């Protein structure tokens, strides 16, 4: 891709690729489902009375998952929301 310039010769920043609304909506739905399932799992994890929870491989993997999903959730919050469609002209 070749750089573009303003009439004054200043380079313009590259535009971020646009995501199709259908893809964005599908991604949003999948993210919501993932967050809900992770939230449910976190309740189970936090209320588990197992004496071996500190050494349990399933509990440790769950904790790792929570950390990754937390990062993903924070990233999604930083993304700009989709533009609202106006039907009024």
The reported pLDDT for the residue numbered 13 is: 81
Q: What is the 3-state secondary structure (H, E, C) of the chain?
A: CCCCECCCCCECCCCCCCCCHHHHHHHHHHHHHHHHHHHHHHHHHHCCCCCCCCCCHHHHHHHHHHHHHHHHHHHHHHCCCCCCCCCCC
Q: How many CA atoms lie within 13 A of 11 on its CB side?
A: 5
Res. 1: pLDDT tops 70: no
CA 30 to chain centre: 10
pTM above 0.85, yes or no: no
């Amino acid at each position: 891709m070749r750089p573009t310039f303003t009439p004054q010769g200043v380079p313009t920043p590259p535009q971020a690729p646009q995501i199709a609304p259908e893809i964005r909506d599908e991604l949003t739905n999948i993210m919501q489902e993932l967050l809900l399932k992770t939230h449910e799992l976190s309740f189970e994890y936090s209320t588990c009375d197992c004496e071996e929870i500190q050494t349990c491989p399933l509990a440790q993997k769950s904790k790792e998952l929570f950390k990754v999903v937390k990062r993903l959730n924070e990233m999604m919050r930083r993304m700009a929301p989709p533009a609202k469609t106006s039907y009024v002209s």
